[in-house]
């Protein structure tokens, strides 16, 4: 029972992070029909940028909370700019190209960003400082840290903010209209290019926060961290139904729970044959199962309408 509660807590933490990243995939897919495989790298840049700002600021004697806030703000700003530039340079020129072209370009962008990060930050694993005191609180026989509470709370806040933006504002309506039909939205005066840029910038801001969260959670950051994380978040988006915002949130949380519970119990289930280091297997097992049995995902029904 303790393991169960503990893994639920871990799963919710992990799932919140996946959900934030999955939103970036699903928003871009909803508007452009493009899988932005470079999105995981944006998460990585967010984490490393935050690290690069927090360490020297804290070292210079700035109070810890201020240094952390400055680091997060810098990560958000850097990722927003990066997302904007990626779309302008890599995807916009291919807007009307066959679908394979932007997909391959996305993989290319992903590699370029990884190599760039390796040149700037090196190949080493950097230890990421503890953002909040690590003293755990007891809850139902399990433990939860302030950081975990913070991660879930911030993720919920950001998702609520996004939902509000998309469903209740002029820009959100323009985004949904563009996702349904960019040309008709254009006839309503919506500049599709503006909306696409905005989508990349918002998705990247969420990715930046997710990057800080994941590094804080595991205590490390490195140039290659975005790859697997990106794939998992993509899996979460597919699980929820790619193109569907609620689906991405749900898919992220679900995937986090599946992974955490899987990792917690795999040893027992296989008689100790497989250990929790097989955690990553679950995400991709889920991806395969979803693609076989419900390719449109849990909440996605609109795939056929797009054709």
Partner 1 sequence: MSALLEAIGIGKRFGGVEALKDVSLSIAQGEIYGLIGPNGAGKTTFFNVLTGLYAADSGHFSFAGKPLDVSAPHLVAAAGIARTFQNIRLFANMSALENVMVGRHLRTRAGVIGAVLRNEATRREEAAIERRALELLHYVGIGSRGNDLARHLSYGDQRRLEIARALATEPRLLALDEPAAGMNGTETGALRQLIGGLRDDGLTVLLIEHDVKLVMGLCDRVAVLDYGEKIIEDVPARVRRDPKVIEAYLGGAIA
Between CA 18 and CA 297, with CA 108 as vertex, the angle to 5 degrees is 35
Question: 32 or 192, CB closer to partner 1?
Answer: 192
> Cβ of residue 154: shortest distance to partner 1, in angstroms?
16
Candidates 249, 240, 250, 245; CA nearest to 295 is 240
Rounded to the nearest angstrom, the gap between the alpha carbon of residue 101 and the centroid of all alpha carbons in its chain is 23
State the residues that interact with partner 1 by CB under 8 A.
165, 168-174, 176-177, 180-181, 183-192, 198, 302, 305
> Cβ of residue 74: shortest distance to partner 1, in angstroms?
19
Using alpha carbons, list the distances in angstroms from residue 280 to 231, 255, 295: 10, 11, 21
> Cβ of residue 53: shortest distance to partner 1, in angstroms?
22
Question: 40 or 240, CB closer to partner 1?
Answer: 240
Question: 117 or 206, CB closer to partner 1?
Answer: 206
> Cβ of residue 166: shortest distance to partner 1, in angstroms?
10
Cα separation, 153 vs 145, whole angstroms: 12
> Cβ of residue 201: shortest distance to partner 1, in angstroms?
9
Residue 63, φ and ψ in degrees, nearest 5: -55, 145
What contacts 267, CB < 8 A, 6 or more positions away?
274, 275, 276
Residue 223, φ and ψ in degrees, nearest 5: -65, -20
Question: 178 or 217, CB closer to partner 1?
Answer: 178
> Cβ of residue 206: shortest distance to partner 1, in angstroms?
14
Other Cβ atoms closer than 10 A to 274? 14
Question: 1 or 307, CB closer to partner 1?
Answer: 307
What contacts 45, CB < 8 A, 6 or more positions away?
75, 78, 79, 82, 113, 117, 208, 211, 226
> Cβ of residue 181: shortest distance to partner 1, in angstroms?
6
Tokens (6 digits) for 24: 């970036």
Query: Do 261 and 14 touch, CB atoms closer than 8 A?
Result: no
Question: 208 or 260, CB closer to partner 1?
Answer: 208
Tokens (6 digits) for 23: 């939103």
Cα separation, 243 vs 304, whole angstroms: 12
> Cβ of residue 224: shortest distance to partner 1, in angstroms?
33
Question: 277 or 305, CB closer to partner 1?
Answer: 305
Helices (H), the chain: 2-32, 39-59, 64-86, 100-121, 146-168, 170-180, 182-187, 192-218, 225-240, 245-269, 279-293, 303-306
Question: 138 or 307, CB closer to partner 1?
Answer: 307
């Amino acid at each position: 029972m303790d393991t169960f509660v503990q893994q639920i807590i871990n799963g919710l933490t992990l799932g919140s992070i996946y959900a934030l990243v999955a939103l970036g995939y699903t928003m871009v897919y909803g508007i452009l029909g493009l899988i932005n495989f470079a999105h995981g790298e944006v998460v990585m840049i967010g984490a490393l940028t935050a690290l690069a700002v927090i360490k020297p600021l804290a070292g210079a004697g700035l109070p810890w909370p201020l240094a952390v806030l400055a680091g997060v703000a810098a990560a958000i700003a850097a990722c927003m700019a990066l997302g904007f530039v990626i779309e302008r340079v890599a995807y916009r020129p291919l807007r009307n190209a066959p679908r394979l072209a932007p997909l391959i370009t996305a993989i290319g962008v992903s590699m370029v960003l990884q190599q760039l990060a390796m040149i700037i930050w090196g190949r080493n694993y950097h230890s990421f400082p503890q953002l909040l005191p690590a003293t755990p609180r007891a809850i139902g026989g399990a433990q939860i840290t302030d950081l975990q509470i913070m991660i879930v709370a911030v993720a919920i806040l950001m998702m609520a903010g996004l939902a509000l933006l998309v469903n209740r504002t002029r820009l959100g309506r323009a985004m949904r209209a563009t996702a349904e039909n960019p040309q008709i939205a254009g006839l309503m005066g919506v500049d599709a290019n503006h909306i696409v840029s905005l989508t990349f910038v918002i998705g990247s801001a969420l990715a930046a926060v997710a990057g800080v969260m994941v590094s804080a959670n595991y205590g490390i950051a490195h140039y290659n961290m975005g790859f697997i994380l990106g794939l998992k978040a993509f899996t979460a988006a597919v699980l929820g139904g790619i193109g569907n915002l609620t689906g991405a949130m749900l898919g992220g949380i679900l995937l986090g729970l599946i992974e955490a519970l899987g990792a917690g119990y795999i040893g027992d289930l296989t008689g100790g044959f497989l250990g929790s280091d097989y955690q990553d297997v679950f995400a991709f097992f889920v991806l395969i199962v979803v693609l076989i049995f419900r390719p449109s995902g849990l909440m996605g029904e609109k795939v056929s309408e797009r054709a």
